[in-house]
Structure formats: structure tokens, C-alpha cells
Structure 1
């Protein structure tokens, strides 16, 4: 489920961006010096701006002032439509991607990009850098169309801390949790893992994501909402089991995939001054698998029930 546009755009990012053909790993860095790059209009195909006939990799970069953004509010970046595949970084950290890059290329040219911005990545006192890696296979390429900018997630959302976006992901044939130094891929949540490049896989996998705790919620009754998961799950926060869903039925009789996951989250297990870790073991027993539908995040019991009973 994509974030809903609010009535007001907080930061308009249509206009001139820095632009370079090619592909270098350090171009995502917040501190990279892009002063020698071209200037290009966004949104518009790069073919219309002097790069006619170019297919391949290119990067866009822009800076914005975070001091105008409200703290403690769920925000997302609308990157519009990108032809063909993209990866988007905020201050050097990956916050979203659509399609996939070579050698496993897959276009997502007709998908509108809306990426949740993790609040802990924002510099609320000054300069922030967005970097966008784009691969174009054929015809027009680049950030093509849309109302590019930073938006507030709709106030109708029950979520206080939105955890949609990029999670770590690792397949586990045995079901055991992979070691921290094992290979972890990046995956969009929510989405079936088959849509993220893990086709025809049935079995166990693990998701994990770090988040910062908001101290002013310490005395609230907190809930961790993980939407819908196909099929079974066990959920840990800082190593403590906080919930599981498993009806123990076999495929195709199990209905666990259709249940919303809402788990009580004791504030006593949360770290106040360092990141917290959510880990989710998922078992798929047939067809699609994974954390596939939102909402995903943390809220309070009172807030959730007020919105449900409106």
C-alpha cells in the first residue's frame, strides 16, 4: 500500500538537479562533491536535455534544508515516475528502490515512486542530500514525470512511527536466524518476496529493521503493527518474542495469511538511547510469501482504537 498524499507538499523538489552519466559507488554519499556535474531539469527525460540516445546508468543529486520539516511526523519522498529502475538514497542511506539493476534487470517505468523517509536519517537542523541512481534500458530515460517532493503521510494513518520501506532480508533453509555477518539482501516492505526477486521460494526467511524509540511514548500502551504476512510469523524486538501467528493448518487450508498482525510492544524492552531491532521469522507454505500488506509500524492502543471507532 502506497503512502497517501496529504493536501500540502512540504518541500517541492521539481526543478534543477545535479546530473552525471555513469555509475560510481561513492555518488550516493552525502559528502560527495558534485559541483562539477551537469544541471538537469526534473522531471523530464534526459533525452530532451542534451543526452539523446543514451541508455545505461546515470545519477541525480539534490540538496534540501531539513529545518522546515516537522519532527516526529511520518514523511515520504515522491519521486514520480522513473524510467526504468532506480535506487534512492538520503544522506548516503538507501531508502527505496523500484525495479532492479543489471544483471537481473527489471523495469518499473510505470510505477509511481513513493518512499517512506526514516526519521532518524533526516538532518532537521540543516542540509540533506538526495541521490538517485537510475538505469535506463531503452527509449526515454530518467526521472520522467510527477510532483517530485517531500510530503506528510496522511493524518488518517493509525501509525505514529512508519516502518514501511527498506528492510534487511535473508532466506534461511532451516528457519534459524542468520548471523549478523551473513549475507542480507534489501527488500521492500510491504511486498511479496516473489515480487522482490525471490521467485518460487517457499520456506523460511528473516526480516530485520532498526528503529529509534520516541521517549514521549514511554508511558503509552504501544502496539507493533505488521499488516498481513504470508503465511506464519514469529516477531522479536531486541531479542524478545513479542508475538506469533500460526494456525498450524497445511496449504491451502491455512488462513493465517489473511490475519492482521497487531502485537503488544512493552516499552520496558525498548532501548531509549540506542537503536532498537525488529526481527521477523516468516514461513511461507505455498504460493506467495512475506510481509505483503500494510500498515507497518508502531502506534498506541488509544490512537488505533480512536481511528477504528470514528
Structure 2
């Protein structure tokens, strides 16, 4: 639940609006892209979309672009899900500049559905790194596909329309979806309710998560997740198959747990993709977590971050989690299980920024320094 003190200023603002009659509600409804939130956004929970993120750390600053998608894309008005198919022939589609409002590129006054498509060469990417598709800001709603597979969605299409125009799109793309030998196809379904529409601003591209190139074991991608809290969730033999699946790293608020404050658990079971040396020290890195965590590997606690400060004072969310793995704890053969108890004390929560994986002692110093 959102804490009362977090919304109290908003409630005072709404009261002032009502008492002094200083807002034209019709104008607000038809111009919701002003810098200030509208009356109804203040009154209801869309207000929280406008809250500032933590002021110190930009959640995307660790990523760097390796494929530039600021270019002409193929564009077609309408809505046909077969257009997500990478084999679909889009030669008859028009070209449109991305980023940019489609109203300023020949489609003035159009509101509704449209699709964008673009190709990129996967040979520019390296399989040992973790990748994001970052599209910037889309007005209003999108579903984004890579090689025919849905990789991300922001907002809700009609009939239960909810805009996502003020969300910077960043979608993790697993290496299993990428053709590292050649052609890849991005397809984006966009719905615009009114006024400007399309992939409107930002620096679209395929990005590498900084630090992922140092990992021996890449642990990006799907993890099991629950908002329940039981001590036995740390046990390696616990059956978590009925838990939800979320992507790591990403705020849980963006994955169906909007405005969840409190305690939740993540779990990941995996086999080693490298052979650990007997005398080598390895580290588990979980990137940045909002706000506190207790981390277990194969049932043993290996690290904790907690500064005993409250909302607005705590800076634990800024810290990169890097926990040494006790020698002999990793199973060379068979399954390993990571369990992470996370406590969020306000605003966004969860494992939200990489790198996420296992790194050797010789590489951990450079990885931490480059992320500061």
C-alpha cells in the first residue's frame, strides 16, 4: 500500500483545485501531456506515474548503445497481429522517422493503431553480454516484439485504455531470442488515443547492460517472484513453481506489482555455465536493489544490505550488491538456487539494475568501479 505521507501533498493540491475552481477540467482531459499532472491524475492513482524517481541514480545510465535505431522504420496504419511475424513482407509500407510524432510525418490528426518495423544485424552483438531494447517514449501504448516474440508492453489498449506516454521503454531481450548470425526484426504495435502519437522521443537502440561483459554466469532474465514472506523461501529445495515469473533486472512495479511496498522474494535456479576453479573466489552480483535485501545461495546467507534508514533518508537503493561466494558452496554439477528477500520502503521496488550474475575475483574490481 502507498503510505499516506507520500500522497498527502497531492491530496492538498486536489483540495485546493476543488476549492478555488482554478482548473478547466475539459481542457485538462484533452491536453494530458502538459508537464503537470492533470486533475484526474492527481485524484486517482495515475498520479503516481508522475512521481520523481530516486534523484541520485538513473536506472538506464549503466546501459550503452551498440546498435543505433534512430533511423527510418517501416510504418503502417491499422492493426493486424501477423505484422509481428519476422517473415512478413513489409515492402509496401511507408518509411517514417524514429523518433518522432507521426502527426509531423504526414499523419496529422490520426489517432488509433499503427505498427512500426525495423531490421538489425545481430552480428554486431556478443552472446556473452546482456541486451536491452530501448525505444524511448511511446505515445500512448505499445506491445513490442523481437523476431515474433513479445518482449515488452507498456500501458493498456482499449477497451481498458491506460496511457504509458511518460514511460521510457527499456525491454530486456534474452539471448535465446537474438539471431547473432544475421537478420533480426523488431515490430512495435502502437495505439494513440489523441494528440501526438508514435515513438516520439528518446535514443532508440539495442543496448548492452554495463558490466554484463565481465560475467562468468549471466543471471539476467526470468526469475520466480512472490509478494508473500516466509523464512523457508530461502531453502534450496522449496518448490516455487506456482510463483509468478518476472524479469530481472526491472522494477516489480512495471511487471504487475504497481505501488507494492513491503517484502517480496525472488528465486532463481540454474546450472553453472563455467567450471569453477578450486582456489578461485567468485562473487554474486545482483546490481542495484530497491531498497534492502537478504541474499541466500543454496540455502546459505551470503550477503545483506540494510542501512536502517527510512524512506527519503536511505541510500541502500544506490548500492551495487556484490557478495563473496564461500568456497565450495557452488555446485559444479547439478542445480544451484539463489533466493533474495527484498524490502521496499517506498516508490519503486525490486532488483532493478544490473549487472546480475557471477563474476571472478580478478574481474570484480573493474566491474564495480565502472558501475560507480
TM-score by length of 2: 0.60
- Structure 1 range deviating more: 133-142 or 57-66: 57-66
The answer on 1:53 being equivalent to 2:109 is: yes
Q: Map 1:46-195 to 2 at 5 A.
A: 46-99=102-155, 101=157, 103=160, 105-109=162-166, 111-153=167-209, 157=211, 160-161=214-215, 169-172=225-228, 182=242, 184=244, 186=246, 189-191=249-251, 193-194=252-253
Q: Which is richer in strand?
A: 1
Match for residue 354 of structure 2 among 295, 302, 305: 295
Q: Is the 8 A contact 2:140 2:190 kept in 1?
A: yes
Give 2:331's aligned residue.
269
Q: Distance in 2 between matches of 1:171 and 1:66?
A: 37
Q: Distance in 2 between matches of 1:175 and 1:136?
A: 46
Q: Distance in 2 between matches of 1:11 and 1:123?
A: 17
Q: Which is richer in helix?
A: 2
**Structure 1 residue 79: Cα displacement:** 1.6
Q: Distance in 1 between matches of 2:349 and 2:161?
A: 21
Match for residue 233 of structure 1 among 288, 294, 317: 294
Q: Is the 8 A contact 1:61 1:130 kept in 2?
A: yes
Match for residue 38 of structure 1 among 93, 102, 105: 93
**Structure 1 residue 15: Cα displacement:** 1.3
**Structure 1 residue 143: Cα displacement:** 1.1
Q: RMSD of the TM alignment (CA)?
A: 4.4
Give 2:73's aligned residue.
16
**Structure 1 residue 10: Cα displacement:** 3.6
Which structure is larger by alpha-carbon Rg, 1 or 2?
2
State the secondary structure of the residue aligned to 1:120: helix
TM-score by length of 1: 0.69
- Structure 1 range deviating more: 254-263 or 117-126: 254-263
Gapped runs of 5+ residues in structure 1? none
**Structure 1 residue 283: Cα displacement:** 4.1
Q: Distance in 2 between matches of 1:40 and 1:199?
A: 36
Gapped runs of 5+ residues in structure 2? 1-58
Counterparts in 2 of 1:211 and 1:60: CA distance versus 1, 3 Å:
farther
Counterparts in 2 of 1:222 and 1:101: CA distance versus 1, 3 Å:
farther
Q: Distance in 1 between matches of 2:133 and 2:203?
A: 10
**Structure 1 residue 68: Cα displacement:** 3.4
Q: Is the 8 A contact 1:74 1:152 kept in 2?
A: yes
Q: Is the 8 A contact 2:97 2:105 kept in 1?
A: no
The answer on 1:2 being equivalent to 2:63 is: no
**Structure 1 residue 142: Cα displacement:** 0.9
